[in-house]
Structure 1
């Protein structure tokens, strides 16, 4: 089966998703069309994919809405796809590829063989004005008129899309390979609370900082943020260590030595960094947002504000049995619902189903 993946942003969690999916489904033929206008595209990225994957540059694609440039990007994508013979499935990743790609697939008569995975759909963003979010909703509704099946990466993202009156939506949970490390047993009195990601509005580092400040008088609690970004200056509390961007093995070592994973995100699709933490048995405390809601049991460790988060942290600090039961739950819940093999099987099943038409 020949599967063509289209992605404007060739970086971050969506990029990692594509690497894992194509490598896991290495028996299929994969072609990747990718945008070239992002500075954070990984170096030597082709080495991360199976050697049989083919690549085409999408030179005019860019993140922001600019009608004239978007028309050029649409035409370039049309010409690239037109040249590829015998396409079985077109899989569009993230909002810009999803918008332009569904129009192109309609023009090519391949709407019934097109999948769009938003990876945190655009109108969930809280770093733009309400007016702009309304435009994003309109754009998603407009693009849905051209066909294609929307595949959210979590049930809560699916529900958020359907709440806007958009139909033909399903979901396949994100999945990853479990980290090949063991969580270290903490024999000291010190507790490490960790978060991983870009220091951006989406990840809400200000709230992380405010939470850390509440424990400033407890020398046995340390907060660590693994990552960097434009909002690094918001991490001012002296009990926070910010590592910046670090090597993969170093990151895994930080996770293995941590005790609790804390997410302060404002929105997600389904966060891969939380899945990595769960795969080694880290208990998680997560902000109550789309994507995070799918990763806890009965909303027990979701929080709506700083006060609720602090209460959850103190529960873990004061109840060793609760801590270890949640550690076991994280690992078990990950294995049952969010592993890469299950995700890949579900996508392959959907590809095969659409390819029958």
Structure 2
């Protein structure tokens, strides 16, 4: 089977998601049609992390992040030509579209190219951005329009599927997962005395760095506390508190080292699909303190492996509670790892995508597929 992945944001969590799909299906050929976000990471650097045996790459040169009618038309035209060429060479069994820009342009291009089997994974519903109501309404209409074009919507968490259902978009979900084999149980010993709270990923509005800063600033005068944002982004200036360390972009191994040495993983996101950073924290035996939003709420078993908070005061109180109950933190970390193994194992969960790629059912018949997924 040959799966063509179309991905404009070839960086951060989306690239991890696509790579995970290729790793979980080593016997299938994956062709990745990708854009590039040079301000975050070069496409060449991202490609080095992918398996070499079963993955091929095609550059989607005109793809770009912002909405621009002329540039988006050029991107659509280029994508159509790529997909049509692959179809004529019998190099397409299914097309998987990743994130909103790829989802809209990709569905149109698949229709134009005569490709019947294509699915779309939002990896975070864009209409939950927390921006203006006008912007959110605009994204809602894009999602509805894209759904009318056709294809199947496959969300990456149950809560994401729920919000798409409220929008009138029929979908199924397959939980995101990570490869637990890359996390050894011998590497989780903390060596620092400082109580460390960490988050990972792009510093952007979706991750709400302003809230992260407000929480950290409460502890600014207490030297026992340290906050780390492992990542980089355009909203870096929001992180003003003197007790926040910003690492910039670092290797995945360095991320693992930093999370291993932390006590608690904190997410202040406005919305998620299902964060790989959070799942990796679970695998590394860390309690997770997560904002109440789509994606995050699928991970926490309240009081067992962490907690959900709705405002900065609740987050601060929880961090103080963790600080004063180190034994509880250790026990919650053990539950985190157990939950990750039972619910977020990549090799198990992503079999659902393989079944979806293979099925000939239309989006209207997806209900019967959900039990298999």
TM-score range, shorter chain: over 0.9
Aligned to 1:124: 128
Structure 1 residue 33 displacement after superposition:
1.1
Q: Does 2:274 match 1:278? A: no
Is 2:139 the partner of 1:136? yes
Aligned length: 354
Q: Check if 1:48 corresponds to 2:54.
A: no
1:104 matched residue in structure 2: 109
Deviates more, 1:79-88 or 1:346-355: 346-355
Structure 2: state its 5+ residue gaps. 366-373
Structure 2 CA distance for partners of 1:216 and 1:295, relative to 1, 3 Å: same
Identify the residue that residue 65 of structure 1 maps to in structure 2: 67
- How far residue 282 of structure 1 moved from its aligned partner, in angstroms, is 0.3
- 1:77 CA displacement: 1.4
Structure 2 residue 152 is matched with structure 1 residue 146: no
Question: RMSD of the TM alignment (CA)?
Answer: 2.2
The alpha-carbon deviation at position 337 of structure 1 amounts to 1.1
Contact kept, 8 Å, 1:207 with 1:264, in 2: the verdict is: yes
Q: Distance in 1 between matches of 2:137 and 2:191?
A: 51
Spell out, residue by residue over 1:145-182, the C-alpha distance to the aligned partner (whole angstroms, 9 max, x if none). 11111011111111111111112x01111111234354
Q: How far off its partner does 1:298 sit?
A: 4.2
Q: Secondary structure, in 3 states, of the residue corresponding to 1:68?
A: helix
* TM-superposed deviation, 1:246: 2.1
Using the size of structure 1 for normalisation, the TM-score is 0.92
Contact 1:88 1:355 in 2 (8 A): no
**2:310 aligned residue:** 304
Residue 94 of structure 1: which of 92, 95, 99 is its match? 99
> Distance between the aligned counterparts of 1:216 and 1:11, measured in 2?
32
Q: What corresponds to 2:28 in structure 1?
A: 28
Q: What residue number does 2:178 align with?
A: 176
What corresponds to 1:12 in structure 2?
Answer: 12
The superposition leaves residues 316-354 of structure 1 with CA deviations (integer Å, 9 ceiling, x where unpaired) of 223344323311111011111112112321111221223
Equivalence for 2:339: 333
User: Which consecutive residues of structure 1, in runs of 5 or more, have no partner in the other structure?
Assistant: none
Deviations 1:6-64 (A, max 9, x none): 11121111011111211221211111111246543343443332324222222222222
Distance 1:188 1:116 in 2: 43
Q: Is the 8 A contact 1:192 1:260 kept in 2?
A: yes
CA distance in 2 between counterparts of 1:44 and 1:305 reads 37
Segment of structure 1 superposing worse, 293-302 or 16-25: 293-302
Could you say which residue in structure 1 is the equivalent of 2:253? 249
Kept after mapping to 2: 8 A contact 1:183/1:255: no
CA distance in 2, matches of 1:261, 1:183: 17
> What's the TM-score once normalised by structure 2's chain length?
0.88
Match for residue 199 of structure 1 among 166, 184, 203: 203
Distance 1:132 1:43, change over 3 A: same
Match of 1:318 among 319, 324, 330: 324
- Which residue number in structure 2 is paired with residue 157 of structure 1? 160
Query: What secondary structure, in the 3-state scheme, does the structure 1 residue paired with 2:290 have?
Result: strand
Change in Cα spacing, 1:209 to 1:29, as seen in structure 2 (3 Å) is same
